[in-house]
């Protein structure tokens, strides 16, 4: 009996230790620790946690509202994601940060819709994801912004004929090249051919052979393919002797792609940010590395941190933690201060307008900054 | 004409990789009735062997050899640690064991090495091109065809000419009879796993050289295709596995190259429908094993 009482006492202490106090702002985080989303969710969460911890050290959001996070693993499984979002709402979550892709974010947003709980994707970039409702937000520059800036750059370089390589299996891999084609055609360029591939396609040689035989020959090939498809494609392309320039989306901004040597020499890609010397981003990288021992070698870390700042600024502007008020305030933020770049939700359909970086990969694995630019909201391809 | 020649090379090159993987699956299945779904992780482990060797500054050729060796070691370890204890269990238990081994290894790769793909950068000179009658042909696909054919030929000689090879073929026919004749089962089974590991290792070399990266999921899709190939060829039939592998590879490349764009989303469905049609006509596979299990 004594044993049972002490167990009970221990259990209630643990329960008390993990429960939120009434003053806390509770943020639920979906974070895939395994599966195909893990490479994006893990760094996003690491950056988010780092900045939330810093905010809490200073007394919480705007120095007064401590943040409590509930973090749950989704194993990259959408059904599991839906389940954990429901659990987090049951545990009192007032804001949900969803996995880093459009599909799990859309699934999570269906669950949070009933209570209008603001739901922000870790790094999903398909602009369709915010169409679910007024409570859904992007955090990273959307595919149509990236594609518009890249098309502008390509056209400015004198390139006129593009060949698109896209996959209908994901909103990202399909949308990016299509937005590019739309923006490029509007500028006066021409789409001279298209090939479709499947995600994890074993072999790209057939597509490469088709590109080689295409008439007229393209000036540039554009694809939003990610790993491991992009390395397979570029190896097959260069291996077949095709030297046409290749451009792609922000997903090429990884050490793996840069590690491919000669095959990726000269590949141009978009990115959400670039740590120019002396920038806030560069300082963040140094501090993060000193504090955690991990080098933040992709933008997901800093973007995760910026999500913490977006939440802080929205709660500040709302003057309350009420879900509807926070959503409304977030949607009105103009030129909010971020570390990767500043963000504007006002006037967008809740995919923030943020600067897009154009960068070039060199054969030695280095990344070269070319320029940064804001997309023009008036001419942006519509989702 | 050039286009057809180039696509033919693409098709045979992909078919060769599938054939090697399918043969690895078939050798193990024919002896211990195990459909080893962890075969893909043997291939992935080989890929990581290459990556780590390059990371530690080994010359590329040595790294490729180490990759093949790593795959053989992984196959033998799998047999000793997981499948030997399950010897004689029914097909379903063996299948589930292989899924468990596969999942455990994937999580280990993900958390021990990286959830992201890691790059494998081989010298640019290896991925050059050459000309035949106006057609530009890649060096890598050509090398992969030659390597696959040499590996398959070598294995045929091994199975027909060596004592252990003959014992393995006998085991595939009737393992109990072989035991009654005093042949050590453990040795035969271990050699079967070693050969399947060797083939997966060679496939890993070709695959990573062509694709430039290794990730924890790398082996899953090719082995799924190889499994379809073994069923198409005739479950348990070694010749059938090779034939099935080439058939699937060729079908995939043809579908990619010559189907109209509107049919592109149905490409895999069309390839699989063709396989089902073939099985309806020949339910035991294209080249059924003598003691065939109907697929």
* ipTM confidence: 0.79
Is the peptide bond prior to A216 cis by the omega test (within 30 degrees of 0)?
yes
Q: Which H helix or E strand runs over A115?
A: none
State yes or no: pLDDT of A9 exceeds 50: no
Position A15 scores a pLDDT of 42
In this structure, what is the dihedral angle of CA atoms A15, A16, A21, A25, given to the nearest 10 degrees?
-40
Q: Does B136 touch chain A (CB under 8 A)?
A: yes
pLDDT tens digits, B155-187: 889 988 999 999 988 888 888 888 898 888 889
pLDDT (average), residues A102-124: 94
In this complex, the residue of B13, B107, B210 whose CB is nearest that of residue A232 is B210
> Is A2-140+278-352's fold the same as A143-271+357-373's?
yes
Position A178 confidence tier, pLDDT thresholds 50, 70, 90: very high
CA-wise closest residue to A197 among A217, A169, A172, A178? A169
**Cα B41 → chain centroid:** 11
Cα(B15)–Cα(B143) distance, rounded to whole angstroms?
A: 13
Distances (CA, A) of A363 to A224, A236, A263: 20, 17, 7
Q: Which residue intervals of chain B are DSSP H helices?
A: 2-32, 39-55, 60-78, 91-112, 139-161, 163-173, 175-180, 185-211, 220-233, 238-258, 267-281
What are the domain boundaries of chain A? Answer: 2-140+278-352, 143-271+357-373
State yes or no: pLDDT of A206 exceeds 90: no
Which residues on adjacent β-strands are paired with residue A358? A270, A371
Position B259 scores a pLDDT of 84
Render the burial of A4-31: b for 16+ CB within 10 Å, e for the rest.
Answer: eeeeeeeeeeeeeeeebeeebbbbbbbb
Q: Which residues contact B61 (CB under 8 A, 6 or more apart)?
A: none
Contact criterion met (CB < 8 Å) for A228 and B215:
yes
Match 């699934």 to its residue by tokens: A107
Judging by DSSP bridges, how do beta strands A25-30 and A67-72 pair with one another?
A: parallel
pTM of the model as a whole: 0.83
Q: Which two tokens stand for residue A267?
A: 């590949």
Nearest residue of A to residue B214, measured between CA atoms:
A228
State yes or no: pLDDT of A235 exceeds 60: yes
Best A205, A255, A294 member to test B by mutation, with max B CBs in 10 Å, is A205
Position A201 scores a pLDDT of 79
What are the domain boundaries of chain B? Answer: 2-216
Residues in chain B where the model's pLDDT stays below 70: 1, 290-295
Q: What homologous superfamily does CATH list for A2-140+278-352?
A: Response regulator (3.40.50.2300)
CA of A273 vs chain B CAs: smallest distance (Å): 20
Q: Strand, coil or helix: what is B264?
A: helix
Cα(B268)–Cα(B279) distance, rounded to whole angstroms?
A: 17
Position A12 scores a pLDDT of 44
Q: Does B76 touch chain A (CB under 8 A)?
A: no
Q: Which two tokens stand for residue A110?
A: 């269906």
Q: CA angle, A214 as apex, A211 and A217 as ends, to 5°?
A: 95
CATH class of A143-271+357-373: alpha beta
pLDDT (average), residues A7-27: 58
Q: If you count residue pairs, one on A and one on B, with CB atoms under 8 Å apart, how many are there?
A: 128
Match 């409702």 to its residue by tokens: A133
In this complex, the residue of B117, B141, B268 whose CB is nearest that of residue A231 is B117
State yes or no: pLDDT of A21 exceeds 70: no
Contact criterion met (CB < 8 Å) for B140 and A212:
no
Cα(B247)–Cα(B220) distance, rounded to whole angstroms?
A: 19
Question: In chain A, which residues touch B (CB < 8 A)?
Answer: 34, 36, 38-39, 42, 168, 194-198, 200, 202-203, 205-207, 209-210, 212-213, 227-228, 231-232, 234-236, 238-241, 254-263
């Amino acid at each position: 009996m004594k044993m049972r009482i002490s167990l009970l006492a221990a259990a209630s202490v643990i329960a008390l230790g993990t429960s939120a106090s009434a003053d806390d702002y509770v943020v639920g985080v979906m974070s895939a620790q395994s599966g195909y989303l893990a490479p994006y969710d893990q760094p996003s969460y690491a950056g988010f946690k780092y900045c939330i911890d810093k905010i809490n050290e200073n007394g919480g959001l705007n120095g007064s509202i401590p943040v409590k996070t509930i973090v749950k693993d989704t194993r990259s499984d959408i059904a599991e994601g839906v389940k954990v979002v429901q659990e987090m709402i049951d545990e009192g979550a007032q804001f949900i940060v969803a996995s880093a892709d459009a599909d799990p974010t859309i699934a999570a947003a269906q669950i949070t819709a009933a209570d209008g709980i603001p739901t922000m994707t870790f790094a999903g970039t398909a602009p369709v994801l915010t169409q679910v409702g007024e409570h859904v937000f992007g955090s990273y520059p959307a595919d149509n912004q990236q594609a518009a800036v890249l098309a502008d750059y390509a056209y400015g370089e004198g390139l006129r004929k593009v060949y698109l390589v896209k996959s209908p299996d994901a909103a990202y891999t399909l949308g990016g090249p299509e937005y590019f084609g739309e923006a490029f055609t509007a500028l006066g360029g021409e789409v001279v051919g298209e090939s479709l591939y499947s995600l994890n396609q074993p072999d790209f040689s057939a597509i490469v052979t088709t590109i080689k035989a295409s008439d007229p020959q393209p000036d540039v090939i554009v694809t939003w393919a990610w790993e491991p498809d992009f390395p397979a494609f570029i190896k097959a392309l260069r291996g077949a002797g095709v030297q046409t320039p290749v451009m792609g989306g922000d997903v090429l901004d990884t050490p793996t792609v840069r590690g491919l040597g000669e095959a990726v020499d000269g590949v141009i890609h978009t990115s959400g940010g670039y740590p120019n010397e002396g920038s806030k981003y560069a300082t963040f990288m140094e501090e993060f590395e000193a504090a955690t021992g991990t080098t933040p070698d992709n933008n997901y870390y800093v973007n995760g941190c910026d999500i913490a700042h977006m939440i802080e600024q929205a709660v500040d502007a709302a003057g309350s933690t009420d879900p509807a008020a926070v959503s409304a305030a977030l949607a009105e933020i103009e030129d909010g201060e971020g570390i990767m770049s500043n963000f504007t939700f006002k006037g967008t359909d809740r995919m923030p307008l943020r600067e897009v970086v154009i960068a070039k990969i060199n054969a030695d694995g280095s990344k070269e900054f070319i320029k940064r630019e804001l997309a023009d909201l008036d001419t942006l391809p519509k989702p | 004409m050039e286009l057809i020649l180039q696509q033919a090379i693409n098709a045979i090159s992909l078919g060769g990789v599938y054939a090697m993987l399918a043969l690895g699956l078939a050798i193990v299945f024919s002896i211990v009735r195990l459909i080893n779904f962890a075969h893909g992780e043997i291939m992935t482990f080989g890929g990581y062997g290459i990556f780590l060797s390059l990371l530690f500054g080994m010359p590329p050729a040595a790294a490729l050899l180490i990759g093949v060796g790593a795959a053989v070691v992984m196959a033998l370890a799998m047999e000793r640690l997981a499948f030997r204890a399950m010897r004689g269990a029914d097909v379903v238990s063996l299948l589930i064991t292989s899924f468990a081994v596969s999942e455990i290894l994937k999580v280990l790769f993900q958390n021990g090495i990286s959830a992201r793909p890691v790059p494998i950068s081989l010298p640019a000179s290896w991925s050059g091109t050459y000309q035949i009658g106006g057609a530009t042909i890649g060096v890598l696909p050509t090398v992969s065809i030659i390597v696959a054919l040499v590996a398959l030929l070598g294995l045929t000689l091994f199975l027909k000419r060596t004592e252990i090879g003959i014992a393995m073929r006998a085991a595939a026919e009737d393992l109990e009879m072989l035991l009654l004749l005093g042949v050590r089962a453990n040795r035969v089974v271990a050699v079967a796993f070693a050969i399947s590991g060797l083939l997966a290792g060679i496939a890993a070399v070709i695959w990573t050289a062509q694709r430039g990266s290794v990730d924890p999921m790398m082996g899953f899709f090719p082995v799924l295709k190889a499994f379809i190939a073994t069923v198409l060829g005739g479950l348990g039939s070694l010749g059938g596995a090779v034939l099935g592998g080439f058939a699937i590879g060729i079908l995939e490349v043809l579908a990619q190259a010559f189907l109209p764009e509107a049919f592109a989303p149905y490409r895999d469905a069309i390839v699989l429908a063709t396989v089902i049609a073939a099985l309806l006509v020949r339910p035991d596979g294209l080249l059924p094993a003598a003691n065939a299990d109907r697929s």
